[in-house]
Amino acid sequence: MSTTSTFDLTATRDEGYRFLIRFDGTDSPPLVTDEPAPLGKGQGPNPSRLLAAALVNCLAASLLFALGKKGVEVKGMTATAHVELGRNEQNRLRIQRVQVNVTPTVGPDASAAAIDDAIDTFEDFCVVTQSVRAGLAVDVRVEPAVASTF
């Protein structure tokens, strides 16, 4: 049985390349994003960093979930991402690779077999990683609006 849910967010230009991202229908505060110099002022993460953050956060949360399902007590969790940017055939900048390292700190009674089982399955729970790997569909529509003159 397949279930579908949706959510919305809105990006509004603040100034220059700085945007406020609002997570519609939530109490979450807006997130400030910006491009690094020379385009922007680097006053927030840019979209490439947000994608890496989404991957690393999702993978860490997925491992936490998988370990919990196996009864493993997690005392702490650290995850890092190393992002490689490069140019494609059209000389456009692209994210070419993201290396994620996840380091859970587990309780002293943790079973090695349970940890291994969780590690074998946790990536399947990561919505973001699996969506990126599958090449998720992105539909884009541009609707120009004319600014009023008064």
pLDDT digits 0-9 by tens, 98-118:
999 999 999 999 999 999 999
Please provide the size of the chain in residues: 150
**pLDDT by residue (tens digit) across 44-99?**
999 999 999 999 999 999 999 999 999 999 999 999 999 999 999 999 999 999 99
- Closest residue by Cα to residue 49 from 60, 35, 39, 61: 35
User: What's the average model confidence in pLDDT over 128-135?
Assistant: 96
Q: Residue 1's pLDDT is what?
A: 61
Residue 2 has pLDDT above 90, yes or no: no
pLDDT of residue 88: 96
Confidence of residue 40 (pLDDT cuts 50, 70, 90): very high
pLDDT on residue 94: 96
Is the C-alpha dihedral spanning 42, 144, 6, 29 positive or negative? positive
Contact between residue 81 and residue 129 where contact means Cβ atoms under 8 Å apart: no
Confidence (pLDDT) at 100: 97
What average pLDDT does range 5-22 have in this prediction?
A: 96
